[in-house]
């Protein structure tokens, strides 16, 4: 009898484990990259300074669970986002036991957050209804239109979209900051029910045969400064964009107009009005296996001469927008804290605040698997602080890259950049001596 029970139990386990575990179909996607970098003079020092030479990498997993028709659940997680061999971790070893440690490559530069162990950054449900599509959860934010002004951040939001002919209408609500449980001294927030950071947006996007265009209106209710600084920010953004193809010519552009209150004080102090601009235009001409083009980007700054008004663009040109390998490149700044891209008194950062950028590029595809491209970038600061004796020129940079597709999903790139440092980096008075910088890199990228 005991043997019979054992046999029946074994058969039951076989059936149980052999049955379908879930009605969901899972589609796995993601990416992996590893980058090798050598940078000769990141501080732009005139004397013999330091250089960088290292590898860094990132693993990204993004499974999509198709639970039912019109119903999916998406997750994104990053792992091993770190330098090879870096021992700046718990225990001083290159292990994988510490999450989100700070990295300081060159003291006293500020540490950069990097991801050593697995961290889930996005998780949201997408479902279709009779009135349109909803997305709820931590998802992609701060992306619109072109790469200009984009950051691809992850934050919680509720998004709704519906199609009306060739136009997609969308409404979004985003919770940026929750004050109820913020900080170690919640007593600061007593009687400040309105001390959160939220955004509300409405947009329309047209998709035609050879043209895409859209208009975004977004309202930023940033009230987190009220408990300590007695003011809130009430920002409005209008951002139209377009992408169009005219035969061999491709054109894209985006504009930003920011308005509202950069600081609306509850009591005692006059408000600071905001009126700022951003603009981006790119044209690319295809000529057989070759192509060439140019782009222009503008992000308004402010000289600080009028305390009641500001023209400083609060959104910037975005981390995703990177026309150069060295100058204002977000990826390079993240991993090196390089002097040519670090924050400055006028706000010139890897996110491209307060700048004017000109870029010309040309490329050639000798085979479908090989691409070679060269680019020349020239950049200025838009505004210098009132009364400051400082040059606006950030410099000129020449870059060249070659990419080979080993497989459809695997590519290898080698690149080099040389920056002629502008007099802006000499600082106020122009007395500091600076020198040029160059960069060598190679990158292996896998997507799946």
d(CA 315, CA 323): 18
The position carrying tokens 């029910």 is 193
* Range of the structural domain that residue 224 is part of: 130-277
| 8 A C-beta contact, residue 104 and residue 82 | no
Reduced to 3 states (helix: H, G, I; strand: E, B; else coil), residue 159 is: strand
Determine, yes or no, domain membership for 309.
no
pTM for the structure as a whole:
0.87
For the beta carbon of residue 330, count every other beta carbon within 10 angstroms: 18
Tokens of 145: 């239109």
What are the backbone angles phi and psi of residue 227, rounded to the nearest 5°? Answer: -65, -30
For the beta carbon of residue 157, count every other beta carbon within 10 angstroms: 21
| Nearest in space to 324 (alpha carbons), one of 301, 300, 344, 295 | 295
| 8 A C-beta contact, residue 318 and residue 331 | no
What are the backbone angles phi and psi of residue 236, rounded to the nearest 5°? Answer: -125, 140
Q: Measuring CA to CA, how many Å separate 96 from each of 30, 31, 76, 82, 88?
A: 20, 19, 19, 10, 11
Number of domains in the chain: 1
Residues whose CB is less than 8 angstroms from the CB of residue 45 and which lie 6 or more positions away in sequence, other chains included:
339, 434, 435
**By CB neighbour count within 10 A (0-12 exposed, 13-18 middle, 19+ buried), where does 231 fall?**
buried
d(CA 343, CA 443): 26
Residue 324: predicted pLDDT: 96
Determine, yes or no, domain membership for 141.
yes
**Where are any strands of DSSP class E within 208-354?**
211-222, 231-246, 249-265, 272-287, 290-299, 309-310
| Nearest in space to 200 (alpha carbons), one of 179, 178, 219, 176 | 219
Determine, yes or no, domain membership for 112.
no
Residue 269: predicted pLDDT: 82
Determine, yes or no, domain membership for 238.
yes
Supply the Cα-derived Rg of the chain in whole angstroms: 25
Q: Measuring CA to CA, how many Å separate 176 from each of 129, 135, 179, 222, 307?
A: 27, 16, 10, 9, 27
- Cis peptide bond upstream of 108, omega within 30: yes
Determine, yes or no, domain membership for 431.
no
Residue 188: predicted pLDDT: 59
Q: Measuring CA to CA, how many Å separate 127 from each of 136, 152, 161?
A: 9, 22, 11
Determine, yes or no, domain membership for 153.
yes
Determine, yes or no, domain membership for 33.
no
Q: Which residues of the chain, if any, have pLDDT below 50?
A: 1-21, 90-113, 184, 338-347
Determine, yes or no, domain membership for 168.
yes
């Amino acid at each position: 009898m005991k043997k019979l029970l054992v046999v029946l139990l074994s058969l039951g386990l076989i059936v149980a484990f052999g049955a379908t575990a879930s009605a969901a179909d899972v589609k796995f996607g993601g990416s992996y990259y590893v980058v090798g970098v050598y940078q000769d003079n990141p501080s732009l020092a005139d004397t013999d300074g330091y250089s960088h030479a290292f590898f860094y990498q990132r693993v990204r997993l993004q499974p999509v669970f198709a639970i039912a028709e019109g119903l999916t659940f998406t997750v994104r997680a990053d792992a091993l986002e770190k330098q090879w061999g870096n021992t700046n971790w718990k225990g001083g070893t290159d292990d994988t036991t510490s999450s989100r440690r700070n990295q300081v490559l060159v003291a006293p530069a500020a540490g950069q957050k990097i991801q050593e162990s697995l961290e889930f950054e996005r998780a949201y449900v997408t479902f279709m209804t009779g009135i349109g599509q909803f997305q709820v959860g931590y998802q992609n934010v701060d992306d619109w239109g072109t790469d200009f002004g984009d950051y691809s951040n992850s934050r919680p939001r509720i998004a709704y979209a519906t199609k009306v002919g060739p136009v997609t209408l969308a409404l979004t609500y985003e919770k940026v900051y929750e004050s109820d449980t913020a900080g170690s001294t919640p007593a600061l927030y007593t009687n400040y029910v309105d001390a959160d950071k939220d955004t509300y947006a409405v947009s329309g996007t047209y998709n035609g045969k050879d043209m895409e265009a859209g208009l975004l209106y977004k309202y930023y209710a940033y009230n987190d400064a009220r408990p300590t600084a007695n003011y809130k920010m009430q920002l409005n953004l209008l951002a139209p964009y377009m992408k169009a193809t005219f035969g061999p010519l491709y054109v894209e552009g985006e504009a930003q107009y920011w308005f509202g209150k950069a600081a609306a004080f509850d009591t005692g102090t006059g408000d600071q009005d905001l009126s700022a601009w951003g603009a981006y235009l790119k044209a690319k001409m295809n000529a057989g296996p070759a192509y060439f083009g140019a782009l222009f980007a503008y992000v308004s700054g402010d000289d600080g001469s009028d305390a009641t008004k500001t023209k400083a663009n609060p959104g910037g040109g975005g981390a995703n927008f990177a026309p150069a390998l060295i100058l204002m490149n977000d990826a390079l700044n993240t991993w090196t804290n390089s002097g040519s891209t670090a924050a400055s008194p006028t706000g010139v950062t890897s996110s491209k605040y307060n700048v004017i950028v000109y870029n010309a590029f040309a490329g050639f595809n000798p085979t479908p698997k090989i691409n070679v491209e060269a680019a020349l970038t020239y950049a200025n600061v838009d505004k210098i602080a009132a009364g400051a004796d400082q040059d606006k020129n950030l410099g000129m940079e020449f870059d060249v890259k070659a990419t080979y597709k080993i497989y459809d999903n695997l590519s290898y790139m080698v690149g080099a950049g040389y920056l002629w440092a502008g007099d802006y980096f000499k600082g106020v008075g122009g007395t500091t001596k600076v020198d040029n910088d160059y960069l060598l890199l190679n990158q292996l990228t896998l997507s799946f």
